Amino acid sequence: MPPIPGSGLAKGLAVTLRTMTKRTVTAQYPDVQPELPPRTRGVIGLFEENCTVCMLCARECPDWCIYIDSHKETTPPAAPGGRERSRNVLDRFAIDFALCMYCGICIEVCPFDALFWSPEFEYAETDIHELTHERDKLREWMWTVPEPPALDPGAEEPKEIAAARKTADKLQAQEEREAQEAREAREAQGPAEDRSDRAAGQEGQE
């Protein structure tokens, strides 16, 4: 059946009228903060306590926007006669957000979980040089990093938790075994002692 002449025009009017009754999609940004999805790529935060200055992030960065300086420190041996240990100490960690293309490779590649995505995005500057943010600023952004999203139902347990649980289970089993052994040892030694104890308790109650 051919369409009724003018039905297209009426349909157009209906569309605009229906849109008028719906909620608008305008984001009133400076007045109302946007609701960002989880894993938003706003800025990169540095958890510097975890950083070992392995330089993997700086080497993998496609546009070379990560600056890392460090020096080596030696710590005295833990036990007398032991060997001195050396470790790297972070002096400078800076990301030039004027160069960064928010690919997130540095975060993926970090083996020590020292870099994180934060949804924070309001760090515009009036001078491009001020977009190079140093470690104190990057550390501050760590406070805005959201909790990792919950696992899917039925997902495999994270490795860390599995390992921790294994250790805990092992410890508990050992404790139980020891307690069991102790009880058995006590029962084998003297049931008489036990009985006299119980009698004394009853007397005390009366």
Binding residue per annotation — 65?
no
- Residue 16 makes contact with another protein by CB under 8 A: yes
- Residue 13 makes contact with another protein by CB under 8 A: yes
Q: How far is the CB of 18 from another protein (least distance, A)?
A: 9
Q: Tell how strand 85-96 and strand 66-75 pair up.
A: antiparallel
- Residue 17 makes contact with another protein by CB under 8 A: yes
- Residue 12 makes contact with another protein by CB under 8 A: yes
Q: Note the helical H segments in 26-158.
A: 56-60, 105-109, 135-141
- Residue 34 makes contact with another protein by CB under 8 A: no
User: Residue 145 corresponds to which amino acid?
Assistant: V
**Phi and psi based region of residue 47 (left: phi greater than 0; alpha: psi -120 to 50; beta: remaining):** beta
Binding residue per annotation — 100?
yes
Q: How far is the CB of 5 from another protein (least distance, A)?
A: 11
Nearer to another protein, 17 or 161 (CB): 17
- Residue 4 makes contact with another protein by CB under 8 A: no
- Residue 26 makes contact with another protein by CB under 8 A: yes
What phi and psi, each to the nearest 5 degrees, are found at residue 138?
-65, -35
Candidate residues 2, 3, 5, 25; the one interacting with another protein per rule CB under 8 A: 25
- Residue 150 makes contact with another protein by CB under 8 A: no
DSSP structural state of residue 85: E
Binding residue per annotation — 103?
yes
In the chain, DSSP assigns E strands to: 43-46, 66-75, 85-96, 115-118, 132-133
Q: Could you tell me the CA-to-CA distances from 150 to 32, 34, 112, 146, 153 in Å, in that order? A: 27, 22, 21, 11, 9
- Residue 24 makes contact with another protein by CB under 8 A: yes
Q: Which residues form the interface with another protein (CB under 8 A)?
A: 9, 12-13, 15-17, 19-20, 22, 24-26, 28
